[in-house]
A = this chain, B = another copy of it.
Amino acid sequence: MREKLLLLSNSVNHGKGYLEHAASEINDFLGSEIKEVLFIPYAGVTMSYDDYTNRVAKPFGSIGYKLRGIHMFDDPVEAVKQASAVAVGGGNTFQLLSCLYKNNLLDEIRSKARQGMPVLGWSAGSNINGPSIRTTNDMPIVEPPSFRALNLVPFQINPHYTEATLPNHGGESRKQRIAEFLELNPDIYVVGIPEGALLRIENGNISTVGPGEIKIFRKGMETKIKKVGDDISFLLD
C-alpha cells in the first residue's frame, strides 16, 4: 500500500484560523520536496472557486507551499497527472463528488494516490477517500451519478463526529445515523473523526493525530475509542 493520505475532520477548529490547527501536521506530511499543491475547491457551493482557493492558499503559503486551484487549468485530468500533491477542500460532499465525476477525475486521483502522490482533505474532502459517501453529514443537494468515491481506504469516514445533540429536538443523533448505516452495511468500519483530529496513512500504516479521540464502529462490535499512539492498523486490513 503506497497511499499517502492526510484526512482531517474539519478546516476551522473552534477559536483557530483556517486550517491553523493542522498546519504543522500538513507541513510534516507534505515534506520539503513538494513545492506546489493542486487544490480542488469543488465542494464549495456558496463561495466562488477563486475565493475558496485564495482562502486556502494563505495557510498553505504560511508553511511554504504554493496552492493552485484546479479550475485554473484547461484540462483538470492533466492537472492531476502533473500534480505533486492534491488537497481537497470541504463543503458539500454530494456537490464535490458530482463535480469529480463530471470532470472524470476519480480514476486519475485514485491512480496517482495509489502510486504514492500525497492526498489530503478535510470534511467532504476526507469523506471521498472512503469507498463511498454514504456516511457524509451533508444534505444531498445534487445527485451524483453514484455514491462510490475514491476508495483509497477500506473504511467509511464520518467527519465532524460528535455525540452532542440539540436539546428537545427529535432529529436522529450522529450515533443513531451511523447505527442505521451499519444495519444496512454490516461488513465495513465507520470511523468518526471529531473536530480537531485527523488520520494519517503512510507506508502501509495508519495513525490518529490531534487532541480528540476517534470512534470506530462496526455492526456487532463494541465501539472502539482510539487516540494518538493507539494501534488502529486493523482499519487497513
Listed in ascending order, the chain A residues whose CB lies under 8 Å from chain B are 10-14, 45-46, 91-92, 95, 132-143, 146-147, 160, 162, 164-172, 176-181, 183-185, 195
Which residues from chain B contact A180 at a C-beta distance below 8 Å?
45-46, 91-92, 95, 139, 141
Question: Which secondary structure dominates chain A's binding surface?
Answer: loop
Complex Cα distance, B87 from A44, in Å, reads: 38
Contact B171 A137 (CB under 8 A): yes
- With A166-B162, A170-B160, A171-B160 as contacts: A183 and B139 at CB distance below 8 Å: no
Contact B139 A143 (CB under 8 A): no
Contact B142 A134 (CB under 8 A): yes
Complex Cα distance, B45 from A137, in Å, reads: 18
* Shortest 4 CB-CB contacts between residues of A and residues of B: A45-B180, A139-B177, A141-B181, A14-B168
Which residues from chain B contact A162 at a C-beta distance below 8 Å?
166, 169, 171
Contact B140 A184 (CB under 8 A): no
- Beta-carbon nearest neighbor of A15 in chain B: B168
Which residues from chain B contact A133 at a C-beta distance below 8 Å?
140
Complex Cα distance, B158 from A143, in Å, reads: 17
- Beta-carbon nearest neighbor of A195 in chain B: B170
Residue of B14, B91, B135, B167 touching A139 (CB-CB under 8 A): B135
Residue of B142, B146, B170, B171 touching A184 (CB-CB under 8 A): B142
| Minimum Cβ distance to chain B for residue A189 (Å) | 15
| Minimum Cβ distance to chain B for residue A128 (Å) | 13
Which residues from chain B contact A164 at a C-beta distance below 8 Å?
166-167, 169
